[in-house]
Amino acid sequence: MTIESKIKLQLDTKICEKVPGKGGGGCINSGECYRIDDNKLIFVKICTKSNADEIMSGEFNSLRAIRDTNQINVPEALGIVRQPNEVALIMSYIDMKSLNQLQGELGTNLAKLHLHNQQLMEQHDYNAGFVGSSGSMETGVDCVEPVTEFGFQCVTNCGAIAQNNEWQKDWITFFTRNRLEHQIKMIEENYNDRKVNELWSELQLKIPKFFKYFTDHAINIKPSLLHGDLWSGNACESNGQPFIFDPCCFYGHSEYDLAIGEMFGGFRSTFHQHYTNVIGKAEGAEKRIELYQLFHYLNHWNHFGGGYRSQSLNLMKKLNRM
Protein backbone atom coordinates (compact mmCIF):
# COMPACT_ATOMS: atom_id res chain seq x y z
CA MET A 1 0.00 0.00 0.00
CA THR A 2 1.36 3.43 -0.94
CA ILE A 3 1.84 6.20 1.57
CA GLU A 4 -0.94 8.16 -0.17
CA SER A 5 -3.34 5.24 0.38
CA LYS A 6 -2.41 5.04 4.05
CA ILE A 7 -2.93 8.77 4.48
CA LYS A 8 -6.39 8.46 2.95
CA LEU A 9 -7.27 5.73 5.44
CA GLN A 10 -5.82 7.64 8.36
CA LEU A 11 -7.66 10.88 7.54
CA ASP A 12 -10.75 9.32 5.93
CA THR A 13 -10.27 11.38 2.79
CA LYS A 14 -10.86 10.51 -0.87
CA ILE A 15 -8.09 12.67 -2.32
CA CYS A 16 -4.37 12.69 -1.50
CA GLU A 17 -2.24 14.33 -4.17
CA LYS A 18 1.33 15.54 -3.82
CA VAL A 19 1.78 19.30 -4.32
CA PRO A 20 5.09 20.07 -6.07
CA GLY A 21 7.30 22.82 -4.72
CA LYS A 22 5.92 22.93 -1.19
CA GLY A 23 8.03 20.21 0.41
CA GLY A 24 11.08 20.64 2.57
CA GLY A 25 13.19 19.05 5.23
CA GLY A 26 16.32 19.15 7.33
CA CYS A 27 19.30 16.97 8.15
CA ILE A 28 17.14 14.25 9.74
CA ASN A 29 13.75 14.25 8.02
CA SER A 30 12.22 15.11 4.66
CA GLY A 31 8.75 16.46 3.98
CA GLU A 32 6.08 16.66 1.30
CA CYS A 33 2.91 18.68 0.93
CA TYR A 34 -0.32 16.94 -0.13
CA ARG A 35 -3.75 18.19 -1.12
CA ILE A 36 -6.72 16.31 0.36
CA ASP A 37 -10.51 16.78 0.30
CA ASP A 38 -11.97 20.30 0.30
CA ASN A 39 -8.69 21.61 -1.18
CA LYS A 40 -7.07 21.31 2.24
CA LEU A 41 -3.27 21.08 2.45
CA ILE A 42 -1.37 18.78 4.79
CA PHE A 43 2.35 18.37 5.44
CA VAL A 44 3.81 14.88 5.75
CA LYS A 45 7.15 14.62 7.55
CA ILE A 46 9.07 11.44 6.75
CA CYS A 47 11.82 9.83 8.82
CA THR A 48 13.95 6.89 7.68
CA LYS A 49 16.15 6.56 10.79
CA SER A 50 16.29 3.23 12.61
CA ASN A 51 14.43 4.90 15.52
CA ALA A 52 11.94 6.67 13.22
CA ASP A 53 8.90 5.41 15.12
CA GLU A 54 10.25 6.83 18.37
CA ILE A 55 11.13 10.16 16.73
CA MET A 56 7.77 10.64 15.03
CA SER A 57 5.73 9.46 18.02
CA GLY A 58 7.61 11.86 20.28
CA GLU A 59 6.94 14.80 17.97
CA PHE A 60 3.29 13.81 17.58
CA ASN A 61 2.81 13.81 21.36
CA SER A 62 4.78 17.04 21.69
CA LEU A 63 2.61 18.87 19.16
CA ARG A 64 -0.52 17.58 20.85
CA ALA A 65 0.69 18.65 24.30
CA ILE A 66 1.51 22.20 23.17
CA ARG A 67 -1.70 22.55 21.19
CA ASP A 68 -3.77 21.40 24.18
CA THR A 69 -2.56 24.39 26.22
CA ASN A 70 -4.08 26.80 23.67
CA GLN A 71 -1.28 29.28 24.41
CA ILE A 72 0.91 29.22 21.29
CA ASN A 73 0.44 28.12 17.68
CA VAL A 74 1.83 24.82 16.41
CA PRO A 75 0.90 22.66 13.41
CA GLU A 76 -1.93 20.28 14.23
CA ALA A 77 -0.73 16.68 14.54
CA LEU A 78 -3.20 14.58 12.53
CA GLY A 79 -1.73 11.09 12.58
CA ILE A 80 1.16 8.74 11.90
CA VAL A 81 1.54 6.24 9.08
CA ARG A 82 4.18 3.54 8.83
CA GLN A 83 5.82 2.23 5.69
CA PRO A 84 8.66 -0.27 5.31
CA ASN A 85 11.83 1.54 6.44
CA GLU A 86 10.08 4.86 7.13
CA VAL A 87 7.54 6.52 9.40
CA ALA A 88 5.54 9.62 8.45
CA LEU A 89 3.95 12.24 10.68
CA ILE A 90 0.87 13.95 9.19
CA MET A 91 0.33 17.59 10.15
CA SER A 92 -1.66 20.56 9.05
CA TYR A 93 0.19 22.60 6.43
CA ILE A 94 1.61 25.94 7.55
CA ASP A 95 2.54 28.50 4.88
CA MET A 96 5.73 29.56 6.65
CA LYS A 97 7.36 32.95 6.43
CA SER A 98 10.43 34.16 8.30
CA LEU A 99 9.68 35.40 11.79
CA ASN A 100 9.87 39.18 11.49
CA GLN A 101 7.10 41.47 12.70
CA LEU A 102 5.74 39.01 15.25
CA GLN A 103 8.81 38.42 17.42
CA GLY A 104 7.25 40.21 20.36
CA GLU A 105 4.01 38.25 20.09
CA LEU A 106 5.97 35.01 19.97
CA GLY A 107 7.81 36.02 23.16
CA THR A 108 4.51 36.74 24.89
CA ASN A 109 2.96 33.46 23.76
CA LEU A 110 6.00 31.42 24.76
CA ALA A 111 5.86 32.91 28.26
CA LYS A 112 2.16 32.01 28.46
CA LEU A 113 3.00 28.44 27.44
CA HIS A 114 5.64 28.26 30.18
CA LEU A 115 3.23 29.62 32.79
CA HIS A 116 0.32 27.39 31.79
CA ASN A 117 1.17 24.38 33.95
CA GLN A 118 2.05 26.61 36.90
CA GLN A 119 -1.37 28.21 36.64
CA LEU A 120 -2.96 24.75 36.58
CA MET A 121 -1.04 23.91 39.75
CA GLU A 122 -2.28 27.06 41.44
CA GLN A 123 -5.86 26.36 40.33
CA HIS A 124 -5.58 22.80 41.59
CA ASP A 125 -4.35 24.01 45.00
CA TYR A 126 -7.18 26.55 45.12
CA ASN A 127 -9.78 23.90 44.31
CA ALA A 128 -8.32 21.58 46.93
CA GLY A 129 -9.40 24.11 49.52
CA PHE A 130 -13.03 23.28 48.79
CA VAL A 131 -14.16 19.90 50.04
CA GLY A 132 -15.51 17.78 47.22
CA SER A 133 -14.76 20.30 44.48
CA SER A 134 -13.74 18.86 41.09
CA GLY A 135 -13.47 22.09 39.14
CA SER A 136 -13.08 25.80 39.53
CA MET A 137 -15.46 27.27 42.10
CA GLU A 138 -15.04 30.66 40.45
CA THR A 139 -15.36 29.83 36.77
CA GLY A 140 -17.13 26.49 36.68
CA VAL A 141 -14.44 25.21 34.30
CA ASP A 142 -13.07 21.74 34.94
CA CYS A 143 -9.57 21.87 36.33
CA VAL A 144 -7.11 19.88 34.20
CA GLU A 145 -4.70 17.91 36.35
CA PRO A 146 -1.34 19.70 36.44
CA VAL A 147 2.03 18.02 35.97
CA THR A 148 3.98 18.10 39.23
CA GLU A 149 7.27 16.45 38.19
CA PHE A 150 9.93 16.95 35.53
CA GLY A 151 9.95 14.72 32.46
CA PHE A 152 7.45 13.69 29.81
CA GLN A 153 4.94 10.96 29.03
CA CYS A 154 7.14 9.43 26.32
CA VAL A 155 10.59 9.60 24.77
CA THR A 156 11.21 12.71 22.66
CA ASN A 157 14.21 13.23 20.40
CA CYS A 158 16.30 16.38 20.22
CA GLY A 159 17.48 15.79 16.69
CA ALA A 160 17.85 12.04 16.24
CA ILE A 161 19.02 11.37 19.81
CA ALA A 162 16.50 10.18 22.36
CA GLN A 163 16.06 12.30 25.46
CA ASN A 164 15.80 10.62 28.84
CA ASN A 165 12.38 11.85 29.98
CA GLU A 166 11.99 9.62 33.03
CA TRP A 167 10.17 11.58 35.71
CA GLN A 168 12.10 13.30 38.51
CA LYS A 169 10.66 15.28 41.41
CA ASP A 170 13.49 17.81 41.40
CA TRP A 171 14.64 19.96 38.45
CA ILE A 172 18.34 20.00 39.35
CA THR A 173 18.32 16.21 39.55
CA PHE A 174 16.46 15.93 36.25
CA PHE A 175 18.74 18.30 34.38
CA THR A 176 21.93 16.80 35.81
CA ARG A 177 21.02 13.16 35.31
CA ASN A 178 18.54 13.11 32.45
CA ARG A 179 20.14 15.77 30.29
CA LEU A 180 23.84 16.44 30.92
CA GLU A 181 24.89 13.06 32.31
CA HIS A 182 22.95 11.30 29.55
CA GLN A 183 24.96 13.20 26.91
CA ILE A 184 28.27 12.75 28.75
CA LYS A 185 27.77 8.98 28.84
CA MET A 186 27.22 8.90 25.07
CA ILE A 187 30.44 10.86 24.54
CA GLU A 188 32.26 8.41 26.79
CA GLU A 189 30.93 5.49 24.77
CA ASN A 190 31.64 7.03 21.36
CA TYR A 191 34.85 8.99 21.95
CA ASN A 192 36.35 7.86 25.28
CA ASP A 193 37.32 11.50 25.86
CA ARG A 194 39.34 11.84 29.07
CA LYS A 195 39.09 15.65 29.20
CA VAL A 196 35.31 15.77 29.16
CA ASN A 197 35.24 13.28 32.04
CA GLU A 198 37.64 15.42 34.07
CA LEU A 199 35.60 18.57 33.52
CA TRP A 200 32.34 16.79 34.20
CA SER A 201 33.61 15.41 37.52
CA GLU A 202 34.16 18.98 38.65
CA LEU A 203 31.08 20.56 37.08
CA GLN A 204 28.46 18.15 38.38
CA LEU A 205 29.37 19.14 41.94
CA LYS A 206 28.93 22.85 41.12
CA ILE A 207 25.56 22.67 39.35
CA PRO A 208 23.51 23.44 42.52
CA LYS A 209 25.36 26.79 42.80
CA PHE A 210 23.68 27.99 39.61
CA PHE A 211 20.35 27.73 41.43
CA LYS A 212 21.42 29.58 44.59
CA TYR A 213 18.80 32.28 44.04
CA PHE A 214 16.00 29.72 44.29
CA THR A 215 17.40 27.90 47.31
CA ASP A 216 18.15 31.18 49.13
CA HIS A 217 14.55 32.33 48.62
CA ALA A 218 12.98 28.90 49.18
CA ILE A 219 11.49 28.97 45.68
CA ASN A 220 10.65 25.67 44.05
CA ILE A 221 11.15 25.64 40.30
CA LYS A 222 7.83 24.51 38.84
CA PRO A 223 7.54 22.32 35.74
CA SER A 224 6.82 24.22 32.52
CA LEU A 225 5.92 22.55 29.25
CA LEU A 226 8.93 23.26 27.03
CA HIS A 227 9.42 23.15 23.28
CA GLY A 228 12.84 21.65 23.94
CA ASP A 229 14.70 22.83 20.80
CA LEU A 230 13.53 26.40 20.26
CA TRP A 231 15.92 28.20 17.93
CA SER A 232 14.90 30.59 15.16
CA GLY A 233 14.82 27.78 12.58
CA ASN A 234 11.94 26.22 14.51
CA ALA A 235 9.80 29.36 14.55
CA CYS A 236 7.97 31.27 11.83
CA GLU A 237 4.96 33.41 11.12
CA SER A 238 1.97 32.49 9.00
CA ASN A 239 -1.25 34.35 8.24
CA GLY A 240 -0.41 37.06 10.75
CA GLN A 241 0.38 34.71 13.64
CA PRO A 242 3.62 33.31 15.10
CA PHE A 243 4.16 29.54 15.08
CA ILE A 244 6.66 27.14 16.57
CA PHE A 245 7.29 23.63 15.22
CA ASP A 246 9.62 20.60 15.44
CA PRO A 247 9.23 20.30 19.23
CA CYS A 248 10.81 17.68 21.50
CA CYS A 249 8.80 18.46 24.58
CA PHE A 250 9.26 17.79 28.26
CA TYR A 251 8.37 19.54 31.51
CA GLY A 252 11.33 21.53 32.82
CA HIS A 253 12.57 24.95 33.91
CA SER A 254 11.21 27.72 31.71
CA GLU A 255 14.65 29.32 31.23
CA TYR A 256 15.85 26.18 29.46
CA ASP A 257 13.84 27.04 26.34
CA LEU A 258 15.82 30.26 25.85
CA ALA A 259 19.25 28.60 25.69
CA ILE A 260 19.61 27.29 22.15
CA GLY A 261 18.00 30.40 20.67
CA GLU A 262 20.79 32.52 22.14
CA MET A 263 23.41 30.12 20.74
CA PHE A 264 22.31 30.51 17.13
CA GLY A 265 20.65 33.94 17.17
CA GLY A 266 17.51 34.90 15.29
CA PHE A 267 15.41 36.06 18.22
CA ARG A 268 15.58 39.83 18.64
CA SER A 269 15.50 41.93 21.79
CA THR A 270 11.76 42.50 21.35
CA PHE A 271 11.17 38.74 21.68
CA HIS A 272 13.08 38.65 24.99
CA GLN A 273 11.47 41.85 26.26
CA HIS A 274 7.94 40.59 25.68
CA TYR A 275 8.81 37.21 27.19
CA THR A 276 10.26 38.81 30.33
CA ASN A 277 7.33 41.23 30.66
CA VAL A 278 5.02 38.25 31.14
CA ILE A 279 7.11 35.76 33.09
CA GLY A 280 9.77 37.90 34.79
CA LYS A 281 13.47 37.16 35.15
CA ALA A 282 15.15 35.54 38.14
CA GLU A 283 18.59 36.55 39.36
CA GLY A 284 21.37 34.50 37.76
CA ALA A 285 19.36 33.63 34.65
CA GLU A 286 22.23 34.43 32.26
CA LYS A 287 24.56 31.93 33.96
CA ARG A 288 21.87 29.24 34.05
CA ILE A 289 21.15 29.74 30.35
CA GLU A 290 24.85 29.11 29.66
CA LEU A 291 24.57 25.94 31.73
CA TYR A 292 21.55 24.89 29.66
CA GLN A 293 23.47 25.65 26.47
CA LEU A 294 25.97 22.98 27.48
CA PHE A 295 23.33 20.32 26.79
CA HIS A 296 22.94 21.55 23.22
CA TYR A 297 26.70 21.72 22.58
CA LEU A 298 27.08 18.16 23.89
CA ASN A 299 24.07 17.06 21.83
CA HIS A 300 25.64 18.58 18.71
CA TRP A 301 28.90 16.81 19.52
CA ASN A 302 27.03 13.51 19.73
CA HIS A 303 25.20 14.25 16.47
CA PHE A 304 27.92 15.74 14.30
CA GLY A 305 31.22 14.67 15.80
CA GLY A 306 34.31 16.34 17.17
CA GLY A 307 33.71 19.71 15.53
CA TYR A 308 31.75 20.64 18.64
CA ARG A 309 34.32 19.20 21.07
CA SER A 310 36.24 22.43 21.66
CA GLN A 311 33.06 24.49 22.13
CA SER A 312 31.73 21.96 24.63
CA LEU A 313 34.98 21.77 26.60
CA ASN A 314 35.49 25.54 26.60
CA LEU A 315 31.99 26.07 27.95
CA MET A 316 32.55 23.43 30.65
CA LYS A 317 35.75 25.21 31.70
CA LYS A 318 33.89 28.54 31.84
CA LEU A 319 31.06 27.06 33.89
CA ASN A 320 33.57 25.54 36.31
CA ARG A 321 35.01 29.03 36.92
CA MET A 322 31.62 30.59 37.71
Closest by Cα among 141, 116, 49, 120 to 89: 49
Catalytic residue among 95, 170, 229, 257: 229
User: CB burial class (10 A; 0-12, 13-18, 19+) of residue 286?
Assistant: exposed
- Annotation says 229 is catalytic: yes
Q: For residues 29 and 170, what is the distance between their CA atoms, to the nearest angstrom?
A: 34
Instruction: Region of 3 please: left (phi>0), alpha (psi -120 to 50) or beta.
Output: alpha
Alpha helices (H) along the chain: 3-11, 52-69, 103-128, 171-173, 182-191, 194-206, 212-216, 259-264, 269-279, 285-304, 309-321
* In contact, 91 and 63? CB cutoff 8 Å: yes
The widest CA-to-CA distance across the chain, in whole angstroms, is 62
Closest CA relative to residue 250, chosen from 321, 131, 155: 155
| Residue 151: DSSP 8-state | B
Cα angle 259, 88, 258; round to 5: 10
Measure the CA–CA gap between 107 and 113, rounded to whole angstroms: 10
Instruction: Tell me phi and psi for residue 130, to 5 degrees.
Output: -115, 115
Nearest to 171 by CA among 40, 322, 291, 51: 291
Q: Which residues are catalytic?
A: 229
